[in-house]
Structure 1
């Protein structure tokens, strides 16, 4: 598990660091920006916790849901081409992701977890890993419970997981890449950057992870392209370090920011 995580991080570094240098949205942002060590800890330590926790959620969800599923469902699903199954998994997962993501913004305690992710002030591929493990375990696990339980082919689930992971790197990255007319079909970096913007017009907007049509239908889309946000993050103070950020949501009183390395 750890080896695979480190390998994927290395591949992402090799691809996205040069890409962010060649096509930067923010030209003043350094590769070793502020808090990169904290985000590396989230990527490695948090990544292991998230993978383990997500599998526990999926196994528990499968045990609960399988008795409720028709015996004919799995053969019907498995008879479809893998590419179609992967697309269906993406649609089902993003519908649930949208709902859960919105709850993490609107329910006070869930927001205390989710604002760790929104404390990002400089967008890049590594900063996208700054997410509270409990937040990501619930979001990822619940998004995939139904596809996992009803019997989609492992190859389709794996294809979706791989594509969505790389898409997450891309949509958080500091790149000036446009999807052109496809930007309303698939979440682009700029579309997701607006979700992280510290601007009133962008608050609680652009929840979709893959398909902007969900935001458009639910009237939560922030359609400001080709303009880019002027600032990112939140006004609420958070501690700087990895451990402090993990513990912070469970504290009764917020701590003032303090210096920390990781």
Structure 2
């Protein structure tokens, strides 16, 4: 197995970063136990148990301290080890080993910190090792120059899970809530689970396909969506770089059919969890081609062509889940053993940092000339 050289094994960097990562998660996890009504998501609390989260929290504290000690022993730069151990100690002092699950009184407003921590933890332990062992771009650094910006995007979209959930449900309720869909919704919910699940995936992906394609062909909307295409470092965090206007419109159009057809709660939950994992996967820096599955589900190779910098391949692979939707509308492209040489946008000027990128599309186009913008909006 080949591993990227930029990781510097044996120098204490990996153990130091791991200690900090787990230490921060542990400290924030303690806060979730102390203030669950404000920091945790009611719907998500039904998925896990307090006892299981207590075990996971204890394991993270112990692992953070362990990796901190390892880094302290082998690294010349003690800073990372000390920071990791500091967060570990803060988690212990604030009651990390003595937290107790409690009955939560509902709160009208909350921050989805539990959803953020669990998703970040799971995605990191799954995809960081995959990118280390099976990288597509071996010279791409694990901590490239804009990884902090992408991490902020990841954090904001998770912490505002309630906000985005409310604003994306409103269009569906406004336009379709008065029709009277109880019979249709009862029929859908009586379908066999696997058929209902496929139907939900297909209808949501179909709506998202055309929304995605519209963002590429409408000049003003392309300003917002181009933020997503601005990264030249495709990795497990790259999919999170999405402007909040893009998130609002795209999620609304995906959720509207799910609301109209009345899919069951379990189906909707499976869809949300699948998309959370799959969106990370298709942007990951991995050369795994997934065999015949790449013709059934979108894969990194498939989606990387959508981010291709070469103008000859613009306007391809808009589907998020099913490639056959692109085949239906003539936008499918997947050569057998080829990957795009580069990803990103040619001759585009984007500011660095989350706040500047959030404001920028409202002020002007990231492209210097209107002609360049027209070319890119047809990607």
Structure 2's unaligned 5+ residue stretches are 1-111, 369-379
Within the alignment, does 1:135 sit opposite 2:246 as a pair?
yes
- Number of corresponding residues: 256
Cα distance change on mapping 1:147 and 1:253 into 2, 3 Å: closer
Return structure 1 stretches of 4+ with deviation > 6 angstroms.
Answer: none
**What do residues 36-94 of structure 1 show as CA deviations (whole Å, max 9, x unaligned)?**
01001111023334652243221441243132244311211111222222211100001
Cα distance change on mapping 1:171 and 1:66 into 2, 3 Å: same
- What residue is the counterpart of 1:45 in the other structure? 156
Within the alignment, does 1:34 sit opposite 2:145 as a pair?
yes
Q: Which of 4, 13, 18 is the matching residue for 2:124?
A: 13
- What residue is the counterpart of 1:154 in the other structure? 265
Within the alignment, does 1:98 sit opposite 2:209 as a pair?
yes
TM-score of the two chains, using structure 2 as the length reference: 0.65
- What residue is the counterpart of 1:191 in the other structure? 302
Cα distance change on mapping 1:51 and 1:194 into 2, 3 Å: farther
**What do residues 185-239 of structure 1 show as CA deviations (whole Å, max 9, x unaligned)?**
2111100000001012221111000111111121111222311111110021100
More off after superposition, 113-122 vs 75-84:
75-84
Contact 2:150–2:237, Cα closer than 8 Å, also in 1: yes
Give the 3-state SS of the residue equivalent to 1:67 in structure 2.
Answer: coil
Within the alignment, does 1:77 sit opposite 2:188 as a pair?
yes
Contact 1:117–1:128, Cα closer than 8 Å, also in 2: yes
More off after superposition, 221-230 vs 13-22:
221-230
Q: Which of 235, 241, 245 is the matching residue for 1:124?
A: 235
- What residue is the counterpart of 2:358 in the other structure? 246
Cα distance change on mapping 1:146 and 1:116 into 2, 3 Å: same
**How far apart are the structure 2 equivalents of 1:78 and 1:112?**
39
Structure 1's unaligned 5+ residue stretches are 257-262
Give the 3-state SS of the residue equivalent to 1:72 in structure 2.
Answer: helix
What RMSD, in angstroms, separates the aligned Cα atoms of the two structures? 1.7
Contact 1:192–1:206, Cα closer than 8 Å, also in 2: yes
**How far apart are the structure 2 equivalents of 1:253 and 1:19?**
36
Within the alignment, does 1:206 sit opposite 2:292 as a pair?
no
Determine which structure has greater relative contact order: mean sequence separation of CA pairs < 8 Å that are 6+ residues apart, divided by chain length: 1
- What residue is the counterpart of 1:260 in the other structure? none
Contact 1:66–1:150, Cα closer than 8 Å, also in 2: no
TM-score of the two chains, using structure 1 as the length reference: 0.92
**How far apart are the structure 2 equivalents of 1:222 and 1:240?**
31
What pairs up with 1:152-191 in 2 under 5 angstroms?
152-191=263-302
TM-superposed deviation, 1:252: 3.8
**How far apart are the structure 1 equivalents of 2:188 and 2:328?**
27
TM-superposed deviation, 1:254: 5.2
